[in-house]
Structure 1
């Protein structure tokens, strides 16, 4: 079989490597970290893998966490107003359990698993210059590392890219010792959404150091009242700022967070992301070409929780196409395969992008209906697992109305829901 070089040992690289090894390819993985380097690294972005992608990992024998990671079986979402108050809530079970596992654990165990299955592991920082040598040694090289020195190999695809600047300021930290009895909603995955201000995620998480914990992700609208984390320098500082944000904007969460402690001094991050789609194939100065996958070519804001999931989808898709072809991976063929993948991948980008924008009135009506209808709520949350099931009716006004009608929600019902919320808001303003 052909020789495949994979640059990067993150989600896309490990899934692609496991699939190609299963299918008999000669696989070499190039990583700038050893497994121990990953284990001793600082905290990495929170990655919640939704049900279908959990199954995809299990089918590849990468299911190392089923007995230890907390199974996420439902979602609770609070739609909040700046008064502050909860305007309405949506709760529903998931079609299949999701898992959120510390990527330091995942990538360390994944690299070791690939080595045990026969992959050659080369620990080296592969620069653009070194990529020429790597490309000469393999029938195909796939770049899955998203760091700038290689990501910039692949030009921006203006037709598929929407944004030119970050849409959110980000903060993440893992905490333990929280008071779960203070908010029963945190028994599973919880979202706090305050449109135009902040989205905050409380994720059941398997932390490298403390086991079952919560990973808290803050997506603040830049320049708004939740955009407070840019000067954070330590985990303790970050937690203090987070407590202040919760006290000011989401006070009903304060008791849950009050006793919490960081899981370690390094399990926090702040920053921002510019969502981008890049051309999937780059031709090197020698004339050889490489394929990009994962964050190297498709980078979304974490708001929709699609980074690791889309990397898994891409790696699974290209495993099947590479296996079916077997050899002769021309640049034209690779680009055509990416176009085929984009028939699905565009829904992922649409899902991610729509959540970054203010809600249209018809989208507000959909969420209101979901707060009263469990079937609609399930469809809303299934969007995280399968964006293609969500975007057709959530992004088009006419199809949204048809979707509601199909679920027995007419205009009179929507009006009643709006009046109920308006009355709740009025009572809050008058009586507190």
Structure 2
């Protein structure tokens, strides 16, 4: 039986560990927190998995919360107009695109804790320890394959920067602030239908409203993604959850009053339901790291492809990476997991991940005119809205029309007739 060590118990590390466990591998998983510590801790960066990523969970029988989590069937996008001198912003664009299938968001405190318990119950070896480079150096020789699914920190720094694949952003591009709330009213534009709603505030950032399942049941995430030092980047000095929520609502009233109108009765779901985070520069790293003693480590998900969270692709990309690596590991059989194989396994994943990286980087800057034209066309032509929404699930489709003005115009013309 092949022995595999996975360091990191997020979406990718746990999904891969559980998938390998089901295939009969001897898996050791290192997590820096127990399941109970995760459940009782602060909310983590929110996640929303779109249909493809959810399918990977379903194929492994890990979709434990399908019946309880809101079924997200659409993506709504608004573009806020300029702020008038007298207040009261309006929307210059508003549309709702339908997904091909449903998306779902589950609080990572619920999912991570649940999967940690499942891994242990199924006989997996769970080690609670914040692993260091020296730990891996001492352990690597005992395993056929070592994988790091850690995102950032000392272990991530083992993986060198890949200048050819990395975005041209050397500094963080967004500061995130999230509050998980009960009591958000229904959206009048699509009553009875759950959708992720995104408001683009030119020159300031974005607002996301995401139906989710949390520790206390159905809830909604209010997430601001602000340009650093801009008008939405006001959460670093908050003194507690109450002030965090108050600032969230103040920004809603000023920049997205149509969303504020349904948020006047909200309250935090629990005392740990706020988070200010996200100050990490997007980067792509080389997929293989060498330990001081010569052992090799394969990077997983955002250990090596760290996209900005502005497009909400983090958890989905992690799920896709875990699925791709699982297939590569199983197909390898009894042959050694050497450096050549490691690089090939990453390249297989990169064929999909590169599209997410390109799209995310495109959304970080000022949107070009042809993209704004696409947004406007979506407001009056449902096929355009649906295609943009479904591109969130599969960003490779954007290659055909999103990045080039001529192709965008040709596409819209074909829809308009």
SS at match of 1:319: helix
> Aligned-pair distance for 1:206?
0.6
Task: Give 1 or 2: higher helix fraction.
Answer: 1
Whether 1:205 aligns to 2:212 is yes
**Partner in structure 1 of residue 99 of structure 2:** 94
Whether 1:265 aligns to 2:277 is no
SS at match of 1:48: coil
Among 329, 335, 360, which residue is 2:337 paired with? Answer: 329
Quote the Cα distance in structure 1 between the aligned partners of 2:188 and 2:98: 21
> Aligned-pair distance for 1:340?
2.7
Give the unaligned 5+ runs of structure 1: 410-432
Quote the Cα distance in structure 2 between the aligned partners of 1:16 and 1:401: 41
Once the two structures are superposed, the pairs formed by residues 356-375 of structure 1 within 5 Å of their partners are 356-375=364-383
Among 359, 368, 389, which residue is 1:351 paired with? Answer: 359
**Partner in structure 2 of residue 398 of structure 1:** 406
CA change 1:7–1:278 in 2 (3 A) is: same
SS at match of 1:285: coil
The root-mean-square deviation of aligned C-alpha atoms, in Å, is 1.6
**Partner in structure 2 of residue 46 of structure 1:** 46
**Partner in structure 1 of residue 12 of structure 2:** 12
* Superimposed CA distance per residue, residues 178-209 of structure 1 (whole angstroms, 9 cap, x where no aligned partner): 3337775684321111122221001001111x
Which ranges of 4 or more aligned residues in structure 1 deviate by more than 4 Å?
181-187
Whether 1:37 aligns to 2:37 is yes
**Partner in structure 2 of residue 383 of structure 1:** 391
TM-score (ref. length: structure 2): 0.94
SS at match of 2:29: strand
Quote the Cα distance in structure 2 between the aligned partners of 1:73 and 1:350: 25
SS at match of 2:79: strand
**Partner in structure 1 of residue 223 of structure 2:** 217
Among 177, 182, 193, which residue is 1:176 paired with? Answer: 182
Among 317, 328, 335, which residue is 1:310 paired with? Answer: 317
Among 400, 407, 415, which residue is 1:407 paired with? Answer: 415
Quote the Cα distance in structure 1 between the aligned partners of 2:257 and 2:406: 37
Give the unaligned 5+ runs of structure 2: 84-88
Whether 1:149 aligns to 2:154 is yes
Quote the Cα distance in structure 2 between the aligned partners of 1:182 and 1:388: 32
Report if the CA contact (8 A) 2:93-2:375 is conserved: no
**Partner in structure 2 of residue 137 of structure 1:** 142
* Superimposed CA distance per residue, residues 92-150 of structure 1 (whole angstroms, 9 cap, x where no aligned partner): 22101001001011111111222233321111111111011221110000100123121
Quote the Cα distance in structure 1 between the aligned partners of 2:264 and 2:356: 36
Whether 1:111 aligns to 2:116 is yes
Quote the Cα distance in structure 1 between the aligned partners of 2:349 and 2:60: 20
Aligned residues: 408
SS at match of 1:188: strand
